[in-house]
């Protein structure tokens, strides 16, 4: 009996191993029963999926189960970006959405992501209730309620929709397309065989950008790479930026909720650097009021900028649902995380990689400088912050060993730096006396242990990285 666990962004598992049609039925039934109990079921759900194997078939299975419970499905075209799904459910005022995507995970993974009526990832109390519902259904062993697809259509429980036009209209409210049009930029766009195709490229063209698009076709293998817009996966785009040449390169992951950004000289900018650049840009060009939100694993350059501008800072556990929870309580200017997700003032409480890329194009158009020059200016104004991350596959017993080690005998000194404070809101984060830090946590979506670090010099970062590798040996 497979354990269905909702991590930082839904339930993800390897197809044909744990992610099966039988388990999708149980997970969907748990969501349906939860909505019935909360009296939200009559509002229906938006149903969508990315370009992975069997996406349409998994969507159909979910639609049939929802119909069995009398819940209507508003079905998006396969390949609709996650942020578009989020905006559509808010616009339609549905009870939420079920989105089949494993985002940036390898091709063998599939995922089921449930977002609530506010458009954000389901909070912990909801995912716990869903997990408990799954266990009850598994113990009962009785078939879940279903209705044949054709019958569901006849009863009006299935409506095919296309949310693209309304999403585009919304995006135009956040991006200064007039600034883009004046700059006449050249941009390489890598949609990584994912949902960004027809969205990011089309909107850039609307802004008068001359684009060169890569991998704008469906490939469930994602070209043999992870659909994650990191430096390793974007080598082809990096090369094209340099040889075309272009002002910058932009990329989205498999479901277009994350971003990748490449400077004119082919330098890949980390999400931490992108988040800082955008935060500074929005402070200059918008009159938005509110706080800035970052996860515990995200750069403290955000803190320095916030302090200088008297902007309140909120620190959350890793996972965009925690940023969404802050957005439900107070206005924000920008919220983001080091793994490549962000949103802005008044937008959906969900990662939007399409919007992030468009705003970075706006930055270059507005400043008339390379991104490296802009980042250098931030370092001169607020101090230098260099970040890195190590990903380690979990071997048997390592999680238990490291958990006990960090809890019972945490180091008081790392890389010759004395530990000033330990933060445990998610994982274990060591803050050093000079303001640098190192953090260890376990991934909520993959069998990985991650070690994050930040230093004020390149040499200091190298020392912390070596120390992190030693610390995480177990």
Whether 176 is in a domain gets the answer no
pLDDT lower than 70: segments of the chain:
1, 8, 444-445, 474
Q: What is the pLDDT of residue 470?
A: 87
Residue 347 sits in a domain whose CATH number is: 3.40.120.10
299 shares a domain with 153: no
373 shares a domain with 243: yes
Whether 208 is in a domain gets the answer yes
Residue 390 sits in a domain whose CATH number is: 3.30.310.50
Q: What is the pLDDT of residue 394?
A: 76
Task: Give the residue from 140, 166, 192 where a domain finishes.
Answer: 166
User: pLDDT tens digits for 335-363?
Assistant: 999 999 999 999 999 999 999 999 999 99
Task: Give the residue from 326, 358, 382 where a domain finishes.
Answer: 382
391 shares a domain with 363: no
Q: What is the pLDDT of residue 8?
A: 67
102 shares a domain with 17: yes
pTM above 0.85, yes or no: yes
User: pLDDT tens digits for 12-21?
Assistant: 999 999 999 9
280 shares a domain with 191: yes
User: pLDDT tens digits for 154-205?
Assistant: 999 999 999 999 999 999 999 999 999 999 999 999 999 999 999 999 999 9
371 shares a domain with 450: no
392 shares a domain with 340: no
Q: How far apart are CA 308 and CA 284, in angstroms?
A: 13
Q: Which long-range contacts (CB under 8 A, 24 or more apart) does 154-160 make?
A: 155/67, 156/72, 157/63, 157/66, 157/67, 157/70, 157/71, 157/72, 157/73, 158/63, 158/67, 158/72, 158/73, 158/75, 159/72, 159/73, 159/74, 159/75, 160/75, 160/77
Q: What is the pLDDT of residue 474?
A: 63
219 shares a domain with 128: no
The count of structural domains within the chain is: 3
Task: Give the residue from 358, 382, 406 where a domain finishes.
Answer: 382
Q: What is the pLDDT of residue 399?
A: 83
User: Which residues constitute the domain of residue 63?
Assistant: 11-166
């Amino acid at each position: 009996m497979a354990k269905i666990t909702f991590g930082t962004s839904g339930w993800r598992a390897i197809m044909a191993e744990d992610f099966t049609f039988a388990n999708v039925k149980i997970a969907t039934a748990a969501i349906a029963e939860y909505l019935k109990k909360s009296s939200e079921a009559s509002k229906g759900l938006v149903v969508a999926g990315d370009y992975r194997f069997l996406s349409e078939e998994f969507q159909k299975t979910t639609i049939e189960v929802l119909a069995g419970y009398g819940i209507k499905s508003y079905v998006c075209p396969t390949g609709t970006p996650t942020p578009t799904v989020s905006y559509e459910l808010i616009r339609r005022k549905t009870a939420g959405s079920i989105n089949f995507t494993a985002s940036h995970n390898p091709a063998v993974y599939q995922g089921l992501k449930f977002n609530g009526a506010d458009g954000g990832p389901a909070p912990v109390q909801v995912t716990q209730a869903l997990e408990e519902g799954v266990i009850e259904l598994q113990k009962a062993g009785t078939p879940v309620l279903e209705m044949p697809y054709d019958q569901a259509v006849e009863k009006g429980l299935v409506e095919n929709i296309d949310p693209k036009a309304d999403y585009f209209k919304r995006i135009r409210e956040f991006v200064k397309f007039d600034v883009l049009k004046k700059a006449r930029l050249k941009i390489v766009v890598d949609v990584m065989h994912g949902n960004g195709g027809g969205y990011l490229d089309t909107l850039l063209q609307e802004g008068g950008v001359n684009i060169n698009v890569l991998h704008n076709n469906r490939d469930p293998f994602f070209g043999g790479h992870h659909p994650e817009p990191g430096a390793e996966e974007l080598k082809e785009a990096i090369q094209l930026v340099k040889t075309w040449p272009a002002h910058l390169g932009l990329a989205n992951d498999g479901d277009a909720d994350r971003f990748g950004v490449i400077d004119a000289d082919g330098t890949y900018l980390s999400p931490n650097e992108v988040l800082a650049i955008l935060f500074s840009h929005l402070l200059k060009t918008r009159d938005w009021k509110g706080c800035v939100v970052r996860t515990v694993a995200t750069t403290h350059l955000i803190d320095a900028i916030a302090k200088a501008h008297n902007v309140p800072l909120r620190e959350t556990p890793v996972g965009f649902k925690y940023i969404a929870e802050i957005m439900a309580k107070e206005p924000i200017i920008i919220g983001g995380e080091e793994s490549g997700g962000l949103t802005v003032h008044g937008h959906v409480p969900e990662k939007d990689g399409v919007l992030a890329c468009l705003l970075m194009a706006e930055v270059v158009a507005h400043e008339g400088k390379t991104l490296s020059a802009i980042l250098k200016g931030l370092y001169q104004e607020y101090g230098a912050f260099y970040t890195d991350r190590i990903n380690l596959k979990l071997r048997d017993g390592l999680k238990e060993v490291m958990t006990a080690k960090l809890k019972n005998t945490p180091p008081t000194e790392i890389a010759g730096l004395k530990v000033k404070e330990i933060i445990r809101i998610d994982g274990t984060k060591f803050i050093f006396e000079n303001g640098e830090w190192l953090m260890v946590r376990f991934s909520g979506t993959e069998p990985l242990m991650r070690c994050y670090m930040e230093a004020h010099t390149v040499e200091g970062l190298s020392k912390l990285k070596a120390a992190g590798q030693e610390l995480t040996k177990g």
